[in-house]
Amino acid sequence: MANGTQTQGGGSKIQFKPRKLATEIQPDAPEGGWEAIIPKGKSKIFQTAADKGGDPGISIAFKLDKAMEEANENFQGSIVNGRVTFYDQSDADRRKAANMNLQFMKNMCEAMDIEFDEVYPANLNSPDDLAPFLNAIEGQKVDIWTVHRESTMGNGEKVINVDIRFKKPGAGLVSKTDDDDADNERPGKKKPTAGKGRR
């Protein structure tokens, strides 16, 4: 092989376009501000595994429509997800995570001029109870900021998660370290899978 070209049987050639490869798992998006849109039909209702509590949740898709920083423009059109899990208010072990998820939802509604109390269910008995919220947010445009946060997987591997904010962060978008189990439900985090480097 020379200059990225390899001859195969029959005389055909494969011509590689030169590129640099990452040797570490990369975050889905850089830190920065974005004009985003929540595409219709892209957000998904889910339920955690039974051994994890069987809790309902929503994975909310944010399409990065326009970068506020020129250096991030090549990520325009990418999608990042904000994952929100709904814990029962009586679950004391999940109180911290529940509060963070609730604040995420309130901040999102405020940023979109949506009346939180009109779309957020007091009780969840079926996926239909989340329909008013999804109907209210899908198709909406909203300014968001992506922030990196480092966490550690069960196998000890460090990964960079992308968190979503609805207000510009304070001085410096500095990567944070987060090894708290409760914080593993932080909205916007991709949940890592053992043996793989993301979410």
Q: Mean pLDDT across the chain, nearest whole number?
A: 84
Which helix (H) or strand (E) segment is 95 a member of? helix 95-111
Per-residue pLDDT reduced to its tens digit, 84-106: 999 998 899 999 999 999 999 99
Q: Coil, helix or strand for 177? A: strand
Q: Which has more confidence, 32 or 23?
A: 32
Q: CA 51 → CA 38, 87, 91, distances in Å?
A: 31, 14, 15
pLDDT of residue 3: 53
The continuous run of DSSP H or E covering 150 comes out as strand 141-152
* 21 Cβ contact list (under 8 Å, min separation 6): none
Q: Does residue 59 register a pLDDT over 70?
A: yes
pLDDT attached to residue 8: 56
- Structure tokens that stand for 99 in this block: 């509060």
